[in-house]
Structure 1
Amino acid sequence: MEPYVMRFRGAVLVSMLFAFALTLLPLPDGLLTWRPQWVALTLVHWVLLQPRKSSIAMAWCAGLLLDAQYGSSLGQHALGLSVVVFITMRMRLRINVFTLSHQLTVLLVALGVYHLINLWVLGFTGNSPTAWMYWLSLAGSLIIWPVYHWLLSRLFMAANRFDD
């Protein structure tokens, strides 16, 4: 049995809409490059806590929505998010027992691959960023992960009282 159950049926959808809203939230210029990858973090959260409710297909659809939102090449974010979810699914059982530093290392690898895929596609289209500041959103995602994961858990999950 799962150690946590969702508080309500639409928790995944509501949290994904929340992540898309955070992605659209205007930020000051100084914080814009530090914007965490909210959608990727939300997908990782659901893969870790409710693997049956999340899938690579869900990541692909979320990525297509991000492609439309950012006006990027069709499939760019879809491919990246699918790889993030695949890596997280493969490592899920280990991540759940890891310490925070080990979790952040796996998250660094998964989100780093996501950024590399985006950089690769941007390079093919001639839009590749030249500044190292492209990688600051990866750092922002790692910094916010413990708080965001805890917050999503508290808002959308409840302890399973019927666990044997």
Structure 2
Amino acid sequence: MKPIPEHILLPVSPVFIAITLAVAFLLNIQPWGHWVGVPDFVALVLVFWGIHQPRRVGMGIAFCMGLLMDVNDATLLGENALAYVLLSYFAITLHRRVLWFPLKKQVWYILILLLSSQLVQMFIQFIVSHRTSSWLYLIDSGVGALLWPLVTMVLLAPQRRSVDTDLDRPL
């Protein structure tokens, strides 16, 4: 079995983090963003940055993104914000443990994180309006977890490039 090479990652740019959060927000506000099976891209990107850059993207950014999603979805103000803050908290808490596992096993942690976020939202909707969502609503978390390896490869790609290319040096 051939060993997988380890990459030394460059520091992430705060501008790149802001762009990824903005793109995730734009993907969420698309008309197809509320269909069954379309994941919450903001939650997925918040989990990614909470795991890979816990000092740069924390609960404050998660709260602001949640308020933006609340205003966009015309939901109870703070519903998405609370879910995103809890999601960010648990992603930051588990970030060392999640990174210990290979990418295929990280999917299970991400599934649990995304499911818990959606269950918080369902619970808040039930408490406030006595309205329950269909269990099909939870498929979004499964799709988001399945997208985790792709999201990881795409968002880590700018950090994997070398500063200066040298054919004699392997790193």
Q: 1:75-102: per-residue Cα shift (whole Å, max 9, x none)? A: 1111111111111111111111212343
Q: Which residue of 2 aligns with 1:19?
A: 24
Question: CA RMSD, aligned part only?
Answer: 2.2
Task: Structure 1: give runs of 5+ residues left out of the alignment.
Answer: none
Q: Residues of 2 paired with 1:83 and 1:9: CA distance?
A: 22
Superposed, 1:12-161 pairs within 5 Å as: 12-27=17-32, 32-126=35-129, 128-154=131-157, 156-158=158-160
Partners of 1:81 and 1:130 lie apart in 2 by: 18
1:5 is matched with 11
Structure 2: any 5+ residue segments left out of the alignment? 1-7, 164-171
Q: 1:79 to 1:160 in 2, by over 3 A?
A: farther
TM-score, structure 2 normalization:
0.82
Structure 2 Cα separation of the partners of residues 104 and 22 of structure 1? 21
Work out the CA distance in 2 between the residues paired with 1:49 and 1:4: 12
> How many residue pairs end up in the alignment?
157
Indicate how the Cα distance of structure 1 residues 128 and 138 shifts in structure 2: closer, same or farther if over 3 A, else same. Answer: farther
**Identical residues among aligned pairs (%):** 23
Q: Could you tell me how far apart the structure 2 residues matched to 1:16 and 1:130 are?
A: 26
Contact 2:58–2:88 at 8 Å: present in 1 too? yes
Q: Which amino acid aligns with 1:131?
A: S
Which runs of 4 or more aligned residues in structure 1 lie more than 6 Å from their structure 2 counterparts after TM superposition?
A: none
Larger Rg: 2
More contact order relative to length (CA 8 Å, sep ≥ 6): 1
